Amino acid sequence: MVTTAAAPRIPPLPAEERSPAAQALLESVTVAGAEANIFTTLVRAEGLTRKWLPLGGKLLNGKIPARDRELLILRTGWNCGSEYEWAQHVVIGRAVGLTDHEIRRVATGPDAGWGPFEATLLRAADELHRNWTITDATWSTLAEAYDTQQLIELPMLVGHYHMVAMTLNALGVQLDPGLAGFPSDTGP
């Protein structure tokens, strides 16, 4: 498992160093008056961040049901060792109805007492992480519940959050105040 860097390799951009465009971009992603380290760090590459945000926003409001989406993202964060991604999506997962017990079980994986479809979602995230594809058996189960758009979105969602996790880990983005990292108890 990757451990969060003790200090950021690229620190968040301080308010006094922000261009008006960078400040406006950050204001578009500020939640409840709080700036997240992911955005204040990535805004240092303002043009890239401006182009990346719409994709992330589309995936957060895509065709996959929110609860399923958060199971996939949490499992991806766990698989990639990204405490930052995990911590942010624990909050979002709770907001869409995941319980703390379920969130801890995500870390344990698809064989941690999930229903058949939830286990399949976690298995799909694991297969994409390990093999860069989804097995026929897992695909068949997904295709029983998801339409074509959702089936296309699923690997794109997991792949996108792999990219995010790698970026967060490589840059050493630190947890935002009030967020906790990985659970210490991951038993079902």
CATH number at residue 158: 1.20.1290.10
| End-of-domain residue from the set 60, 81, 96 | 60
Question: Do 127 and 49 fall within a single domain?
Answer: no
Distance CA 150, CA 144 (A): 11
Question: Do 73 and 142 fall within a single domain?
Answer: yes
What is the per-residue pLDDT for 188?
Answer: 39
Question: Do 71 and 152 fall within a single domain?
Answer: yes
What is the per-residue pLDDT for 30?
Answer: 79
Q: What average pLDDT does range 70-83 have in this prediction?
A: 97
Question: Do 47 and 85 fall within a single domain?
Answer: no
CB 42 within 8 A of CB 52: yes
pLDDT tens-digit readout, 124-150: 999 999 999 999 999 999 999 999 999
Distance CA 89, CA 85 (A): 6
Q: What is the torsional sign of CA 63, 99, 74, 174?
A: positive
Residue 187's pLDDT band (boundaries 50, 70, 90)? Answer: very low
